[in-house]
Structure 1
Amino acid sequence: MIDLHSHILPGCDDGAVDLAAALAMARVAVSDGTRILACTPHILPGLYRNDTVGIEHRVKVLRQALSDEAIDLRLVVGADVHIAPDLLQKLTDKVVPTLNGTRYFLLEPPHHVVPPNFNAFVERLIDAGYIPVVTHPERLTWVAKHYDLIEAVGRAGALMQITAGSLTGQFGTQAKALADRMLEEGRIDLIASDAHNVSGRSPVLSAAYSIVEEKVGAETARNLFVETPARILRNADIRAVGMDVAQSVKREAETKSRTSRFWRMLQGR
């Protein structure tokens, strides 16, 4: 499997506290079946001041440590990027890294506040040639009442990444309900661990993989955990599933409307 969201880099955000913790996370990931893992520390102005140069250096150091410990895990560069007014400029200037140097990058909306003009913000990024991968929408407290906003950015072409632990119930009933809904509606592009440690937020994907396989089939499971992440790392073209789901939902609604009108006509109403 390929995990494109983790906080394994030591000492730079709220993830691994030191090298020993990072190595422990790497061992758990490998034992669970992950072979490629993106190092995606937070970039949050005023709190986590990570940048491309610093992240690349930390990844290089961690790669060497994995080699020294004979841990067979390939690391790639990335970041968990929070919304900021100057984000597009920082992407253009390569101050903020994308995933493995591609056009794709993790975009984390605020957890408790609806981001103003979110759809327009995402569209500007896409128009500039970048593809946001919206992280854990199912865990954002405002999404339950603003699900239409997630639908809108999906229609615009943003990819949706949910957290594996949401499907297993690790993040509570609301996150699980939204993750299940998005899975059933086909609105998920990829699943990642968002790992921070080896206890409560470990880099484990296999349990969620089994849930997806059981609910929607082996092909979808492989797409969410292997194929789509691999295409992102290759910078391949990816059509966001939200773009197709929007058309499908519209067609279904139109069909129901026509059927309803037909039966009302037969009943003389």
Structure 2
Amino acid sequence: MIDLHSHILAFLDDGAEDIVTSIAMARIAVADGITHMACTPHIVPGKYENSTATILPAMHSLQVMLDAQSIPLRLTSGADVHIAPDLLDRLQAGDIPTLNHTRYFLLEPPHEILPPRLEEFAARLLEAGFVPIITHPERLSWAGRHFDVIQRLADLGCPLQLTADSLTGVFGPVARQLSERILREGRASFFASDAHGASWRKPVLSGAFALVAEQFGRQDAEQMFHHRPAAILSNAEPAEILPTLRTVSRGRARKSFAQRLVARVLGNE
């Protein structure tokens, strides 16, 4: 599996608190079946002033340590970018690292409020040749009230990245239900861990992979946990990244995992 959203780099944000934690996170990821991981520290003006100049050296340094300890995890560049007026300028200048130097980058909208003209902002980025991946829309507190915005962003051409722990229930029932809705509607491009540590919010994807395979089939799971992330890292055309609505036509996909589990226990499936 490929994990395109992690906070494994130490000292740069609210993720790994030290190098020991970074290495422990890498070991957990490998044990879970993750082979590649994007290092995506927050870039938040006035809070986490990260850039290519801080992220790339930290990534290369950690890779050297992992290689020295024979930990088979390949790191690649990226950032978890918050909305800012100069975002496009910084992307064009190379000051903000995209995922493996491609057109794709992680865009994290504000959690508490829906920013005005978010769709227009995304459209400008797309027109400039950058593809904003909307991170964990199921965890945005306004997403349930403004779900039409999430739908339109996906339809506009912005891939949606769900958090693996949302589907497994770690972030509560609302995040799980929104994850299932996005999956049922066929708008989820891929999953990532958004890992922040070795004892909480760990870099694990296998539980969510199993649920997606159970609900939608192994082929869809492989698309969301390997093929599409790999396509992003190779800078493939957006048509290879964006999902189709074909999964919503499957009768099996209309039931949540919990509903199917209950049906199985009752002998109805």
**TM-score strictly above 0.5:** yes
The residue correspondences of 1:187-198 to structure 2 (distance < 5 A) are 187-198=187-198
Cα distance, 1:241 vs structure 2: 3.6
2 CA distance for matches of 1:124 and 1:60?
32
Question: Residue 224 of structure 1 corresponds to which residue in structure 2?
Answer: 224
Structure 2 residues not aligned, in runs of 5+: 250-269
Does residue 154 in structure 1 map to residue 154 in structure 2? yes
SS of 1:37's equivalent in the other structure is strand
SS of 1:144's equivalent in the other structure is coil
Counterpart AA for 2:56: E
Question: Residue 254 of structure 1 corresponds to which residue in structure 2?
Answer: none
Cα distance, 1:53 vs structure 2: 1.5
Alpha-carbon RMSD: 1.4
Cα distance, 1:245 vs structure 2: 4.0
Question: Residue 163 of structure 1 corresponds to which residue in structure 2?
Answer: 163
Alpha-carbon displacement from aligned partner over 1:141-176 (angstroms, at most 9, x marks no partner): 000000000111111100000000000000011000
Cα distance, 1:188 vs structure 2: 0.3
Question: Residue 48 of structure 1 corresponds to which residue in structure 2?
Answer: 48
SS of 2:75's equivalent in the other structure is strand
Q: Which sits farther off after the overlay, 233-242 or 33-42?
A: 233-242
Cα distance, 1:238 vs structure 2: 2.2
Q: Is the 8 A contact 1:186 1:241 kept in 2?
A: no
2 CA distance for matches of 1:53 and 1:103?
19
Question: Residue 36 of structure 1 corresponds to which residue in structure 2?
Answer: 36
Counterpart AA for 1:91: L
2 CA distance for matches of 1:10 and 1:233?
23
2 CA distance for matches of 1:198 and 1:140?
24
Alpha-carbon displacement from aligned partner over 1:106-159 (angstroms, at most 9, x marks no partner): 000000110110000000000000001100000000000000001111111000
2 CA distance for matches of 1:96 and 1:222?
29
TM-score by length of 1: 0.90
Runs of 4+ in 1 over 6 A off after TM superposition: none
Structure 1 residues not aligned, in runs of 5+: 250-269
2 CA distance for matches of 1:76 and 1:155?
28
The residue correspondences of 1:213-252 to structure 2 (distance < 5 A) are 213-239=213-239, 241=242, 244-245=244-245
Question: Residue 107 of structure 2 corresponds to which residue in structure 1?
Answer: 107
Q: Is the 8 A contact 1:79 1:99 kept in 2?
A: yes
Question: Residue 67 of structure 2 corresponds to which residue in structure 1?
Answer: 67
Counterpart AA for 1:54: T
Cα distance, 1:39 vs structure 2: 0.2
Q: Percent same amino acid among aligned pairs?
A: 50
Q: Which sits farther off after the overlay, 63-72 or 33-42?
A: 63-72
